Structure 1
């Protein structure tokens, strides 16, 4: 009995999509995974398993309902998987030419991932992962197939935390735009810093109001629109610019509407008293509808682009041409370094329980240390193993404050260098200038700060990983990531502060003298040793 036919298979062609007739049995066969699709799925699964710290970090990031900037991550992942499945005919039809040299990129990327993970630089080890998977698939399947996978794997970057540096810029633009809209409309309000002051109260344009989430999702949807339309590169860039601009402007309008509603209701509007999160997405939905209208009109005005037709569908399951040796080599390159480090961690003895900070006593003309100095300087370092602030007096009675903080080991949430830590502490001290200075006591990072009374002071700081000193924080973190692969170095920061009484040059001289003789010593304390106060 002849097979019945149905229009379930489509192919791209210049001028639109054209249905092709295929048997129902062949259609079901085409939906089944092939050797190449299985290799792709295997690489993705292996990466998620081998590099499990990244998988766990992404799960936490995508489920963070407090900081919601990446809660769209699961949708991005599902879309990427669907795009690969959608292009399965191209994956099967492309010539298979493995590129073993690509494995030379897998090993360095794996090493970079390990360093970033050890250093607690979460953004970096997450960003490395898609590139690592792509390199492994390139080695196994070759350039022709890898080109098909380039967009689906690249699309994952819209779910990764590489966009955080835009928060400050977007927040500043939002403040300035709100200021301009208030001026244009004559609303009785004024902007001071990040605050909008109204007769009935004040609103803060905080980090979460920057519109980063809307921007990322908007760019992702614009990129997906260009991919589904199979537009040229220039047109795709145009869609990204258009949607990015619309998302930013929509966030400005969202903030202004909230400000206007707060004024009209004397701060009693639902948008102020309860929540305005979903209101933002309503504004975004209207913005995306405008994007689709503009994009469709633009496409109609310029006519359809010339699109290369997709390779013809195969009429049955055919050999993928893959070899076990190639797949095994790629898997080995992905796994060898992480597995070695994981195994070494299991065999490595537990770290010493704590770190003690030993302060020098009565060094020359210096008097001290005073245990509880009366100072406005209160550095903040979360989850530190030990920290202490002390004060010394020189022969003329001028004060130098010293601060030390140490981490026995670093991991995610317990890092020396992170946005949650602050050498200046709360808002009591304001940074005026920062530079690197080279002295007889070594290189230091110098910060000139001012307190609420207008008094200036200088802070010298230096990061240390084991016995090695750094003045650049990110360099210290990367060095920790390297050394922590084979050992357990203590990470610390030493800082000195003194007031500029008659200019800052005498203060620098005083700091140099203190740095030469008053620096504390860090000492490991095991659980069997007698405990003593660390602060």
Structure 2
């Protein structure tokens, strides 16, 4: 019998053991972030590929075993500093319950564990496998609104170019054969993420030229976008030509995946024509002083462990200032010439989930015109109950009663200070797109860390600052809305409603802020 040659030389054993230990500590310390990521893979078809990304990464690392055998593993300089940055990102994300930030930080810590214990030479050899691991992070929902708009734009444009008349409002449109709506499944985000993930892997395995790799990845980004637009147009066209007997139910999703699979398959077949020959096997290296000093290995591990566990010390201190009392949401006082109405202008409420308390009230201005106010107040926020979330919206895209017709921003004033709010026109669907149907103009913004803003990013930053400074995590989502007059044209009606909403902020803004401060109950 002949002795089996070990996969890695003996001087790899101690650094590799230290790396495995560090990896185990990272996964144990941040298990809830890892578990949340796995749960997203389970319930979302968009991110189901996350299950195979770690396996592909391990296989890519295994392919490099011959290269790694000729390297000397030793802790890389300043790697622990980068781990400190990743740990800080996790802490900031955890303070404001941002899954994307905490999960991105977790993967970054796993990747940075390689240079922290095994060194930068090893990291460079594993650059792509380590980078590929980031595809496991379920991130991309922020692209949904824009991609849905692009899909609607292209579909309507293509239908009109085909001679089919189209009337469009927001993400909904009507053609002679029926009404259609662009929802999340029509955005193409699933196709984009699947194409980019597979495209990056194909480019890495098939090409040695960096230019070829970049070009193919660019194609993998553009092709699914265009393919999804064409898919949406063809589905509507097929439904129109068939009298809505085809491509109107679940089958339109099946047709979509078949079309996407065909397009991506052709893309890979074309890309395969320019495949480069495999790179030559690395030459054997003669190593001097191959074994890294024992002290260096354990020092690198110790520094990395300190960085990994540091956020928990900070988190424990911040937890002492948390506000735990039940929320008693104060109702803003109404000052003349405004008066409180018996009920809100309509039955609509924004789709903000798991608020600690809600307020929905109606008001009348000096002329008796109605205005509505809705407040969703949050305290003791976590990953299920939080103010700023992709799941919190004014109207769900598949809402059977209400639909969002327009979106935009408005420059307003609140207590004499400029404020950029999100503006939207919302329509009651019970009468379809009839011009005389119920519509209203809504302005929405947040109150976080005592600051008014409509920006999700500023809101998250202020929320983190509130936790760090001991102010707490009390925050609110505020919507004021006014019905649009059916006796005016659309622009005049929106201008009239906007003037009414600004008048409310001018007259009642102080009372609104006072009610929020009273609800918080701390100086």
What range describes the TM-score normalised by the shorter chain of this pair? Answer: 0.7 to 0.9
Partner of 2:409: 434
Q: Give the 3 Å change call, closer, same or farther, for CA 506–292 of structure 1 in structure 2.
A: closer
Partner of 1:512: 506
5 Å matches for 1:311-350?
311-312=283-284, 319=291, 323-338=297-312, 340-341=314-315, 345=319
Deviations 1:224-269 (A, max 9, x none): 1222235222111112123333333443454455445545654444
Larger radius of gyration: 1
Question: Is 1:378 the equivalent of 2:328?
Answer: no
Question: Is 1:415 the equivalent of 2:386?
Answer: yes
C-alpha separation in 1, matches of 2:261 and 2:439: 49
Q: Give the 3 Å change call, closer, same or farther, for CA 34–262 of structure 1 in structure 2.
A: farther
Deviations 1:364-394 (A, max 9, x none): x345433523347633321111111223445
C-alpha separation in 2, matches of 1:447 and 1:220: 33
Larger helix proportion, structure 1 or 2? Answer: 2
Question: Is 1:294 the equivalent of 2:294?
Answer: no
1:203 is displaced (CA, Å) by 4.6
C-alpha separation in 2, matches of 1:513 and 1:362: 9
Alignment match of 1:463 (pick from 428, 439, 446): 446
Alignment match of 2:467 (pick from 451, 466, 484): 484
Q: Which has the higher contact order (CA 8 A, sep 6+)?
A: 1
SS of residue matched to 2:409? strand
**What is the root-mean-square deviation of aligned Cα atoms in Å?**
4.1
Whether contact under 8 Å (2:378, 2:476) holds in the other structure is yes
1:462 is displaced (CA, Å) by 4.8
Partner of 2:420: 445
SS of residue matched to 1:513? helix
Q: Give the 3 Å change call, closer, same or farther, for CA 332–209 of structure 1 in structure 2.
A: same
Partner of 1:224: 201
5 Å matches for 1:101-112?
101-112=78-89
C-alpha separation in 1, matches of 2:14 and 2:129: 19
C-alpha separation in 1, matches of 2:286 and 2:257: 43
Q: Give the 3 Å change call, closer, same or farther, for CA 143–518 of structure 1 in structure 2.
A: closer
SS of residue matched to 1:355? coil
Question: Is 1:162 the equivalent of 2:139?
Answer: yes
Whether contact under 8 Å (2:480, 2:501) holds in the other structure is no
SS of residue matched to 2:329? strand
Q: Give the 3 Å change call, closer, same or farther, for CA 35–177 of structure 1 in structure 2.
A: farther
C-alpha separation in 1, matches of 2:443 and 2:345: 19
Whether contact under 8 Å (1:123, 1:162) holds in the other structure is yes
SS of residue matched to 1:389? strand
Aligned residues: 492
Q: Give the 3 Å change call, closer, same or farther, for CA 362–69 of structure 1 in structure 2.
A: closer
Higher deviation after alignment, 113-122 or 367-376: 367-376
Deviations 1:325-376 (A, max 9, x none): 211221221112235525875xx5985352112235564x345433523347
Q: Give the 3 Å change call, closer, same or farther, for CA 362–276 of structure 1 in structure 2.
A: closer
SS of residue matched to 2:198? helix
SS of residue matched to 1:434? strand
Whether contact under 8 Å (1:36, 1:92) holds in the other structure is no
Unaligned ranges ≥5, structure 2: 428-435, 484-493
Whether contact under 8 Å (1:416, 1:491) holds in the other structure is yes
Unaligned ranges ≥5, structure 1: 4-23, 527-535
Deviations 1:14-72 (A, max 9, x none): xxxxxxxxxx71166789984444444444433322222321221111001xx411111
1:114 is displaced (CA, Å) by 1.2
C-alpha separation in 1, matches of 2:222 and 2:332: 58
Q: Give the 3 Å change call, closer, same or farther, for CA 279–82 of structure 1 in structure 2.
A: farther
Alignment match of 1:79 (pick from 56, 65, 74): 56
Partner of 2:431: none
Whether contact under 8 Å (1:392, 1:401) holds in the other structure is yes
Whether contact under 8 Å (1:189, 1:196) holds in the other structure is no
C-alpha separation in 2, matches of 1:350 and 1:182: 55
Superposition TM-score, scaled by structure 2 size: 0.78
C-alpha separation in 1, matches of 2:133 and 2:120: 20
1:145 is displaced (CA, Å) by 1.1
Q: Give the 3 Å change call, closer, same or farther, for CA 220–43 of structure 1 in structure 2.
A: farther
